[in-house]
Amino acid sequence: KGIYEFQFDSTTGKMSAAGVAAGTRDPSWVAVHPNGKYLYSVNETGKASTVSAFAIEPKSGKLTLLNQLPALGEDPCYLSFDRTGKFLFVANYTSGNVVVFPILPDGKLGEHTALQKDSGTLGPNKERQEAPHAHFIAPSEHNRFVYVSDLGLDRVLIYKFDAANGSLASVAASASAELKPGTGPRHAAFSHDGKFMYVAGEMESTVTVLANENQETFHTIQTNAMLPAGFSGRNDAAEIEIHPNGKFLYASNRGHDSIVEYSIDANSGKLTQVEDIPTGGKEPRHFAIDPTGKFLLAENQLSDTIVEFRIDPGTGKLTRTGETLTVPSPVCLTFLPID
């Protein structure tokens, strides 16, 4: 039906009933601008896909459409901002390309400043890796590069980014991070010091740890299973996120329907699994940790539920609070402080 909003009390974890903030087609990824005034959404509708800009009403959270532009690719699936907040990055999954849009002073999107098609050797899975599939895009710590995980290529690609004009330029293929064939990299998260990247492998159900010493080159230092030994059912890894304290990493399994937690070694960047816990529903395509780090909200796409967990501050372990919200096919969630 569109983008829903609900109120969340970060002290108690209490969630209000959800209502429609904006009617818009297939908003499978949303992102709030760093200034808190605007929200951007993909509209994942095949060849007719678009990207939408909304103004946020501060007190109610309701959304007003500012403008909507063609995504310049098929099935946009991820959005992020450059470090200045002046540009929006878009990853188009089916067409395997990435696009940069300028954000105008009034929050509207301007005409694109860059479009790059991912390229390289395809992975071994003929059904899932028949072409490049950009699935994640984010800037480097110092805003000089953009990282793109491509499920079809089993790589994290690197593009040079010019924050003065919003342009992207390819770098040598050797600078990209090559993952194990068949991994199918989906989303990624970064250590707080920027030295390590953690990549969720959708097809292999793994978390790969990449060392990133100079922002231009990566190498794999560890690969971690996301599933318990002996599990033989169908599974696709989905979301990955690091706790605000930088000590814990979480990733979700669709099929096993769980969230797996790891502790992070601050020096080596390597992971140690702590637990995996059922999400209380089917297909947790996404989850989000509230900014205080006290709660994790898991979105079960096929159960139409958002299930809340309390996070133990010492161990990072999850405990269900009993709070559950009903929302049709929840697939992305983000937090916004309100007055």
- Of 16, 65, 14, 13, nearest to 38 by C-alpha is 65
How does residue 154 score in pLDDT terms, banded at 50, 70 and 90?
very high
Question: Kind and range of the H or E element at 320?
Answer: strand 318-326
Say if pTM beats, i.e. exceeds, 0.95.
yes
Q: What is the pLDDT of residue 18?
A: 84
Q: What is the pLDDT of residues 57-79, one digit of tens each?
A: 988 889 999 999 999 999 999 99
- pLDDT above 70: residue 339: no
CA separation for the pair 182, 40 (Å, rounded): 32
Residue 266 maps to which CATH number?
A: 2.130.10.10
In a domain, 268, yes or no: yes
Integer Cα distance of 247 and 119 in angstroms: 35
Q: Which residues constitute the domain of residue 273?
A: 226-339
Predicted confidence band of residue 34 (pLDDT cuts 50, 70, 90):
very high
State residue 171's pLDDT score.
86
Structure tokens at 36: 């808190």
Domain count, the chain: 1
Percent of the chain with pLDDT over 70: 99
Domain assignment of residue 255, yes or no:
yes
User: How many Cβ atoms are within 10 Å of 339's Cβ, its own excluded?
Assistant: 4
Domain assignment present for residue 244? The answer is yes
**In this predicted structure, what is the pLDDT of residue 1?**
80
Q: Is residue 288 part of a domain?
A: yes
**Cβ atoms of residues 282 and 255 within 8 Å:** no
Q: What is the pLDDT of residues 303-315, one digit of tens each?
A: 999 999 999 999 9
Alpha-carbon distance 212 to 140, whole Å?
10
**Model confidence pLDDT, tens digit, residues 191-233:** 999 999 999 999 999 999 999 877 678 899 999 999 999 999 9
Mean pLDDT in residue range 149-166: 97
> Would residue 67 count as lying in a domain?
no
Of the listed ranges 58-72, 136-150, 165-179, the one predicted with least confidence: 165-179
Residue 270 lies in a domain: yes
User: What is the tens place of the pLDDT at every residue in 233-251?
Assistant: 999 999 999 999 999 999 9
Average pLDDT, the chain: 96
The per-residue pLDDT for 293 is 98
C-alpha span between 62 and 9 (Å, rounded): 18
Predicted pLDDT of residue 132:
98
Question: What is the Cβ-side half-sphere exposure of residue 144, based on CA atoms within 13 angstroms?
Answer: 5
Residues in the chain: 339
d(CA 7, CA 100): 31
| 315 falls within a domain | yes
- The answer to whether the CB of 165 falls within 8 A of the CB of 135 is no
Domain assignment of residue 12, yes or no: no
Residue 317's pLDDT band (boundaries 50, 70, 90)?
Answer: very high
**If DSSP states are collapsed to H, E and C, what string results for 159-227?**
EEEECCCCEEEECCHHHCEECCCCCCEEEEEECCCCCEEEEEECCCCEEEEEECCCCCCCEEEEEEECC
The pLDDT value recorded for residue 215 is: 64
Which residue carries 């063609």 as its tokens? 70
